[in-house]
Amino acid sequence: MPARTRKTRKGEPFSIRLSTPTDELVADEARRSRRSKSSIVEELTEESARMRRFPGIGFRDEYPRRRPWVLGTGLDVWELIDVLESYGSAGAVVDDFPLVTERHVRLAAAYRDAYPEEIGEAIAENRRPANELERLHPFVRLGEHTR
C-alpha cells in the first residue's frame, strides 16, 4: 500500500510475546520476504485493523504492492472507485457489474474516504499516459486502444 512506502512517525516501542506457532509464521514470512519480523507484524496489524474496520475488504499481492480489494467482486478498491467516478452513481455501477452490489460500492467509498491519498495514488498510477508508460517500460508495447 502506498501509505506504507512513506516515512511515518513511529510510536513508542513495546514488546510482545507471540505464541511459538505465530512466531514461526512471522519468522518464515520475514525470511521469505527479506524483511524484519517487526515490519511483518506491523503490516499484519495494520491490515487486520483495516479489515475489522471495513468488513468485506481484503488485501492481496506481495509487499510493498499490497492493495485493498472488495471481497466477492474481484475488484481492487481503487478500481471500483474509478468506475464509480466514471459512472456517477452506485446504481449505474451495480446495473453494469453483475457481481457488484450497492453494499460493495458503499464499502469501497467508505474505504476511499478513510484513505483518500492511497486510493487517489492508485487511480493516478492507472491513468498514466501511454507515452510515459512506454518510457518507463520500453520492453512493453501498448495497444492502440490505450493511447
Same domain, 59 and 96: yes
Asked whether residue 118 is assigned to any structural domain, the reply reads: yes
Range of the domain at 127: 55-147
Whether the CB-CB separation of 2 and 119 falls below 8 Å is answered with no
pLDDT digits (tens, 9 = 90+) for 79-134: 999 999 999 999 999 999 999 999 999 999 999 999 999 999 999 988 888 888 78
pLDDT digits (tens, 9 = 90+) for 22-57: 999 999 999 999 999 999 999 999 999 999 999 999
pLDDT number for residue 79? 97
pLDDT at residue 18 above 50? yes
- Angle, helices 102-114 vs 77-87, to 10°: value is 110
Same domain, 47 and 111: no
